[in-house]
Chain A
Amino acid sequence: MTETTSGHPGARPPGRSPAVPGPERGAAPPASAAPPAPAAPRRRGALAVRVLVPALALALAALLLLSTSIGTIEVAPADAFRIITGHLVPGMPWMSDGSLTPVQDNAVWQFRLPRALLAALTGAALALAGALIQAVVHNSLAEPYILGVSAGAGAGAVSYIVLGIGIGSLGIGASAFAGALLATGAVYLLARKNGRIAPQRLILAGVALGSLFSAVTSYLTITTDAQNVFGIMFFLLGSVSAATMGHLALPAAALAAVGVFAALRARALNALLVGDDAAASLGVNVNRLRTTVLAASALLTGAVVAVSGGIGFVGLVVPHVARIIVGSDHRKMLPVAVLAGAVFLAGSDLLARTLAEPTEIPLGVLTALVGAPFFLWLLRRDRAEGAGAGR
């Protein structure tokens, strides 16, 4: 402790007389005192958020446009932009004057845009779910798949491919979603005791059930016909290559709903960071918060995994990157994580389909190949110490 020099009302050198009692609080500092009380001091991350959020939004828009123009069929970015706005706004002249070929229109609107959007949605959703789960289980190693979601989805998808077990004619996505919900429900019930969710038990139950479901998946994969194996691996590694506009509805709706929910709970999540008892004493209903946040994250993850498969790395690492840059305050960190997740995955997907043309690198492989070195570099910088990575 150094001698207190600020002119704060009530700020005193330590170890002297007892505190100024209530009535005198806020009284003007003595004439000899240094400058008046500093106004709201600048907080770490405030500036970063103000710059970062618009920058990431711009980057995302640019990346989406770039994704729609790059590929085997040549479309200039300006033409891609004209095609997209032409579909969104009726009556645009260039849609009917013959300056754009139907092949270009098809490539942009039917294939590249849905794919890029699905990649962005998936990245945003996994980053949000990861940030939420890390907060409610007090564990920085937690990720969306800790609840058994991806293992359950994998088992569901493989069951459909290998055994034809599915819900009517709904196909692989529905089977994956059902598997994800089944696994999450089981993890939740196993982690619950006396009406309370213990974070540690939740993580362990998730890991154990995840292994169980993975074992089923592995067994089915190894015993099935060779022709099925490629499809299975493609799903397990994750891909957005088969995206259509119809695929976007479920993840988009889930992301919007959970996004609003998370925004309303951001302050309560901040309280949860310092411990259950402290959060409770700050007016947070800890058990209800934990249960609703877990359910929301599981639904969000399930909705994404059913469409895109088990894309790893994003949900674990993007929240940490956001924390390193803007701090742990969820009011700042959640918007940054969501946008960063979208940018990261949209960018990764663009690389995945262009780097090794004409073949495609599985998205899950690329996210780890690109993301891991970047994250390790970030981790070793000084600011990571301030974000708690040095312990």
Chain B
Amino acid sequence: MNYQKIIMSVLILFIVTNCSETNGIFGKTGSGSDPFANISQSSLEYFSNEVGDTVLFKVNQSVIEPDYREVLNSQAKWIKENSIALVTIEGHADEQGTREYNLALGARRATAVRNYLVSKGVSESNLSVVTYGKERPLRICSEENCWSKNRRAITIIDGSSS
């Protein structure tokens, strides 16, 4: 037993030492205070994290709330600046509805986002919409804090024109 304990202690010491070294190495190459400083402003990562690819909706609603107009304004600007030719907008619903109604509701939400982007100068022919209804929840709990994240439209960049 004692022998085993000693081996375990040595092993744990080794792992801990090793970890701290590893952290040190990555620490030197880290990006500092702004995690997006090294990310190109034309990258998909920048679009989804900085511009914001998601619009959330109230229960059974497809109206773009004022909070999300700024997100969509930025989306429109980014899509135009980067000459994006292929954009898919996915509409989703939470699980608290029937399958067919949620498909129709997801289509309403995706179309609301599309129409807003078009109103901000994005070419309609570059935008396509698809509804997933309640088929692809982002969060899987059965409470409002998950449902509110699932009632969403996501703007997905499929490709540029060049």
Q: Do A and B come from one complex?
A: no
Taking Cβ atoms with an 8 Å cutoff, the residues of A that contact B are: none
